[in-house]
Amino acid sequence: MSTNDEPAVCIGKKGISSCTYDDLVHYFKYASSAYVPVCPRPNGKHLVTLFSNVVTDIQGFVARDDERKEVVVCLRGSLSLTDFLLDSQLVLIPFKCPGISAPSGCRVHSGFLLAWDSIVVQILAILVQQLGSHEGYSVVTVGHSLGGALSILAAACVKGNFPEVDVRNYSYGAPRVGNEAFAEWFNEEFPPGKAFRVVHGDDGAPTLIPTSLGYHHTGVEYWQLDPPNKDNVIICSADGEDATCSASVPSQGINHAHTIYLGIHVATPFCMGIRL
């Protein structure tokens, strides 16, 4: 399980517990390692399998942490022209995922849903096997940028297919994924403490898709300021759109802040057996 010992999420607070901050760093190491073609032991843990789709160029891995008793689904961020073309498909369409039915009105980014649909069957099959062999394990979905957006869809889909399993989500630099109805439903499924949406400073990616197009962020934003430490993280409004946090900074698109989180440069490999 997570080492997060914070008893409650204190909205508007600047500063988080050491354990919460350590968790944010811990799961970002998975997200960063997803950019590496070969990662034999992601974050030093057991690599269950890689997954990919050659058409959408969506890639990632499933890892297992037998100390925390969790299965980690990690999705890679944008790295190719195909990925950026998916990012640009901004039409909102109904959220559908095998095995679940979201409430009427829940709509999500068509490109993100297309990307998730291309690997969802693989991931659900892997989880059936892993959770069947490891009773009591939780599932954590993680990712940076496009991977962060997909990790949010993944969390919703996994929870719907495995309702008895504890599911958490850690996203970093993720753009808005769906409309307000989707955000409200997601926030009910993943209340504070179950979803951690991290934004670094003036990273423009999270606000690149504007609310004027009908989009609305999910969950509590953990706004990481500099220098990176537990005292420089602000816990923002639980409805996803806090005008005093990263939304207060006009989007500059993909900028330097998007490439470094919690003091770690994106694509830094945390793969035992690979020299950093």
Q: Provide the CATH number for the domain around residue 155.
A: 3.40.50.1820
What is the chain's mean pLDDT, rounded? Answer: 91
**Residue 125, domain member (yes or no):** yes
Which of 65, 83, 203, 242 does the annotation list as catalytic?
Answer: 203
Q: Is 136 domain-assigned? A: yes
Crossing angle for the helix pair 146-161 and 110-117, to the nearest 10 degrees? 60
Which band of pLDDT confidence, cut at 50, 70 and 90, is reported for residue 43? Answer: very high
Give pLDDT tens digits for 209-218.
999 999 999 9
Residue 240 lies in a domain: yes
Total of domains in the chain: 1
Burial class (CB in 10 A: 0-12, 13-18, 19+), 101: exposed
CA dihedral 4, 6, 9, 10 (to 10 degrees): -140
Asked whether residue 1 carries a pLDDT value surpassing 50, the answer given is: no
Considering the candidates 26, 109, 200, 258, report the single residue annotated as catalytic: 258
Q: Is residue 129 part of a domain?
A: yes
Residue 6 placed within a domain: no
66 is catalytic: no
State yes or no: is 203 an active-site residue.
yes
Q: Is there a domain that residue 275 lies in?
A: no
Could you tell me the pTM of the whole model?
Answer: 0.93
Nearest CA among 203, 186, 80, 85 for reference residue 141: 186
- Say how many Å lie between the first and final Cα of the chain, rounded: 27
Within-domain flag for 192 = yes
Distances from the Cα of 85 to the Cαs of 82, 151, 155, 174, in angstroms? Answer: 5, 18, 23, 16
The domain in which residue 134 lies consists of 18-265
Residue 72 lies in a domain: yes
For the chain, give the longest Cα–Cα distance.
Answer: 49
The arithmetic mean of pLDDT across residues 127-145, rounded, is 98
pLDDT in tens, 27-42: 999 999 999 988 999 9
Of the residues 145, 151, 246, 251, only one is catalytic, namely: 145
